[in-house]
């Protein structure tokens, strides 16, 4: 099984021009204009994706026909709402090649990572691990002398929670470094016998680097450490089901709906059943309980154990529609389309010597995003020039401040793709970018 770059070579063909035109027709927002009637070129999908009509319709239909509190009430609407919600869980499980009982709905990827991180803080409370198998209980206990390993390219969502866990437990946070060209350094130099948790991104939201997970997992397994993967940037672009396979070495992953053509307010945590059964809950209250007495309570089995309160049913239904949409297109073809866009983007930027691309030079080592700088021009100014032409990009440190410090950069400009992005939009982006040297006196 391929555990690293998953699709280092892409045998599938991308979308034809006719298919891509049909896809764009599915996304109503892409037809609007901005900045005094200019066509919108949306190159900020790494921040949030646009939503196809089937997602909007699925949410609307739920509210118009089935809206009720899930897992509550004995009336027909409650039954329909529960069926729709649990059906969405089944869809997510199919997308990941997993079992529905391993799928926990969260608010977003950040909440999923916090859920994992807080399990280690909460495990220290008296009685928190009562009934958990000894093997899992030992793995969930962190203290002085233990180590948590992340990478230097993490989004803050997969860094700050682990900083906090280490602060609370006395464990030590360590990190795998990043090379100047955007790859990880040798994970075996950081992961060792004291490592209890390794939590890494699958695709960098800044560099676009598709992380080779095989050496990370190998080192973690040799240390007996748990392995968690942030798949928020990879899920919209490639088939990530290999990560949940029994022999993958990955114990949990997260992704978020709003980056995967789905609604805001919904995310997914997948984890091995044994881990979910052992983990203390993150939130407590209604729905996640088994028995409640004034003296104390017991928890429902997972996944309900981690879904306190009335769940986000309409958003789950919308996410299921988004994942079905990607599956129908074919994730291999979606990735091939991304690779074609990546090759084209790197080529047009290479033709502009005043642009410095950040991250791997090989398109096959990248997914979804290209960040760059223009010498002598602040990224925010570059973004403003592009916005004036209707080109939507992201500027700043992209919630990855330590990575920018490592690369000795204050900020970058990032263009990121969706399945609806066209080569012509990349050309429009490049043409708009050509205004930067003229406006700021950069040598072209």
Residue 183: CB atoms within 10 Å: 17
Q: What is the pLDDT of residue 370?
A: 98
Which phi and psi angles does 19 have, rounded to 5°?
-65, -40
Averaged pLDDT, 255-266: 98
Rounded distance between C-alpha atoms, residue 306 and residue 312, angstroms: 13
Residue 277 has pLDDT above 50, yes or no: yes
Asked if 419 contacts 329 with a C-beta cutoff of 8 angstroms, the reply is: yes
Alpha helices in 38-75 (DSSP H): 53-61
Residue-wise pLDDT for 41-95, tens only, equals 999 999 999 999 999 999 999 999 999 999 987 899 999 999 999 999 999 999 9
Residue-wise pLDDT for 200-237, tens only, equals 999 999 999 999 999 999 999 999 999 999 999 999 99
Contacts of 266 (CB under 8 A, 6+ apart): 105, 106, 107, 108, 256, 257, 258, 312, 315, 316, 318, 319
Residue-wise pLDDT for 302-357, tens only, equals 999 999 999 999 999 999 999 999 999 999 999 999 999 999 999 999 999 999 99
Tokens at residue 251, please?
């114990």
The architecture in CATH of the region 17-51+331-438 reads Alpha-Beta Complex (3.90)
Quick check: is 166 catalytic?
no
Residue 192 has pLDDT above 70, yes or no: yes
Asked if 258 contacts 264 with a C-beta cutoff of 8 angstroms, the reply is: yes
Residue 174 has pLDDT above 70, yes or no: yes
Q: What share of the chain is helix, strand, coil (3-state, %, to 5)?
A: 40, 20, 40
Q: What is the mean pLDDT of the chain?
A: 95
Closest Cα to residue 43, out of 370, 415, 356?
415
Averaged pLDDT, 363-369: 98
Residue-wise pLDDT for 6-23, tens only, equals 334 455 789 999 999 999
Asked if 143 contacts 170 with a C-beta cutoff of 8 angstroms, the reply is: yes
Q: What is the pLDDT of residue 378?
A: 96
Q: Which residues pair with 366 in a beta bridge?
A: 209
Residue 3 has pLDDT above 50, yes or no: no
Closest Cα to residue 80, out of 95, 97, 63?
63
Q: What is the pLDDT of residue 1?
A: 33
Q: Which entry of 47, 399, 409, 442 is annotated as an active-site residue?
A: 399
Tokens at residue 161, please?
């929670």
The architecture in CATH of the region 56-327 reads 3-Layer(aba) Sandwich (3.40)
Q: How far is CA 96 from CA 61, 67, 303, in A?
A: 25, 27, 16
Q: What are the residue ranges spanned by the domains of the chain? A: 17-51+331-438, 56-327
Residue-wise pLDDT for 117-158, tens only, equals 999 999 988 889 988 888 888 999 999 999 999 999 999 999
């Amino acid at each position: 099984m391929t555990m690293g770059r998953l699709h280092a070579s892409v045998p599938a063909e991308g979308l034809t021009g006719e298919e891509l035109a049909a896809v764009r027709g599915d996304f109503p927002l892409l037809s609007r204009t901005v900045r005094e009637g200019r066509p919108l070129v949306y190159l900020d999908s790494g921040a949030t994706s646009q939503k196809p009509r089937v997602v909007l319709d699925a949410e609307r239909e739920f509210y118009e026909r089935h809206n009720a509190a899930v897992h509550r009430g004995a009336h027909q609407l409650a039954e329909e709402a529960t069926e729709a919600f649990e059906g969405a869980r089944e869809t997510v499980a199919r997308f990941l090649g997993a079992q529905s009982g391993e799928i926990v709905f969260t608010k977003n990827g950040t909440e999923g990572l916090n859920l994992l991180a807080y399990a280690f803080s909460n495990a220290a409370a008296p009685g928190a691990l009562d009934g958990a198998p000894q093997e899992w209980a030992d793995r969930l206990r962190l203290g002085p002398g233990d180590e948590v390993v992340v990478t230097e390219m993490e989004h803050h969502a997969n860094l700050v929670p682990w900083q906090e866990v280490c602060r609370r437990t006395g464990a030590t946070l360590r990190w795998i470094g990043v090379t100047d060209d955007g790859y990880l350094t040798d994970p075996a130099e950081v992961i060792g016998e004291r490592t209890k948790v390794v939590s890494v991104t699958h695709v960098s939201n800044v560099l676009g680097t598709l992380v080779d997970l095989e050496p990370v997992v190998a080192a973690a397994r040799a240390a007996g450490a748990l392995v968690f993967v942030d798949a928020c940037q990879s899920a919209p672009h490639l088939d990530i089901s290999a990560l949940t396979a029994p022999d993958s070495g990955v114990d949990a992953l997260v992704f978020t709906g709003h980056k995967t053509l789905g609604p805001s307010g919904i995310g997914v945590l997948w984890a091995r059943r044994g881990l979910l059964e052992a983990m203390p809950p993150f939130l407590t209250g209604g729905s996640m309980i088994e028995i409640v007495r004034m003296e104390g309570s017991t928890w429902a089995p997972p996944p309900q154990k981690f879904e306190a309160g009335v769940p986000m049913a309409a958003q789950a239904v919308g996410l299921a529609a988004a994942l079905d949409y990607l599956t129908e297109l074919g994730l291999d073809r979606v990735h091939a389309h991304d690779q074609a866009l990546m090759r084209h983007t790197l080529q047009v930027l290479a033709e502009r010597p005043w642009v410095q691309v950040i991250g791997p030079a090989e398109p096959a080592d990248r997914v979804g995003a290209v960040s760059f700088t223009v010498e002598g021009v602040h990224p925010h100014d570059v973004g403003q020039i592009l916005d004036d032409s209707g080109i939507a990009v992201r500027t700043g440190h992209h919630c990855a401040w330590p990575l920018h410090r490592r690369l000795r950069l204050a900020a970058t400009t990032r263009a990121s793709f969706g399945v609806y992005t066209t080569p012509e939009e990349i050309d429009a982006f490049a043409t708009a970018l050509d205004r930067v040297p003229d406006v700021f006196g950069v040598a072209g």
